[in-house]
Amino acid sequence: MKKHIKHDPQACSKKMLPIQDALEILSGKWKLPILVALMFDVKRFSDLSKEIPRITDRMLSKELKDLEMNKLVKRTVYDTFPVTVEYTMTEYGRSLKKVIEALGEWGEKHREKIMSE
């Protein structure tokens, strides 16, 4: 039985906040699929709807709005008929790549570990 060292809760929550911010931005069932779909290409609403299995229009619309608010995705409307709207990943959105890769690498290892137990 080891000694229990007290943590400084102030310093701790200071570190926690950005972590939880980041996590919240990626959280939910659909944010990652959308971001990954946009990581390499520009896409329209209907493209995303087709490419992301089982997502509803409502969710897609809602999540895209969220991502736009956080400046990860840019929305461009073209004055065509019918209207077309393009969604692009911003440079800033691309800065998430490292985070997503870190998650992916760890997730891969985790799959192996849990499968082989």
Partner DNA sequence: TATAGCACTATACTCTAGTATAGTACTTAC
Partner DNA sequence: GTAAGTACTATACTAGAGTATAGTGCTATA
Residues that bind DNA (CB under 7 A): 28-30, 44-47, 54-59, 61, 64-65, 75, 81-85
- Residue 39 contacts residue 32 (beta carbons within 8 Å): no
Binding residues for a second copy restricted to 91-110, rule: CB under 8 A: 92, 95-96, 98-100, 102-110
Residue 38: other Cβ atoms inside 10 A: 24
- Least gap, CB of 58 to a second copy (angstroms): 20
Encoded tokens for 63: 């999540």
Binding flag, residue 65, a second copy (CB under 8 A): no
Binding flag, residue 113, a second copy (CB under 8 A): yes
The residue among 106, 102, 109 whose CA lies nearest residue 22 is 102
**Pairing state between β 73-78 and 84-89:** antiparallel
Q: Which does 14 bind (CB under 5 to 8 A by kind): a second copy, DNA, none?
A: none
Binding flag, residue 78, a second copy (CB under 8 A): yes
User: Out of 45, 49, 51, 59, which residue is the one contacting a second copy (CB under 8 A)?
Assistant: 51
Q: Which does 116 bind (CB under 5 to 8 A by kind): DNA, a second copy, none?
A: none
The footprint of a second copy on this chain (CB under 8 A) covers a number of residues equal to 56
CA distance linking residue 62 with residue 66, whole number of Å = 6
- Least gap, CB of 20 to DNA (angstroms): 11
- Residue 23 contacts residue 70 (beta carbons within 8 Å): no
Task: Give ∠ CA 66-44-39 in degrees, rounded to 5.
Answer: 65
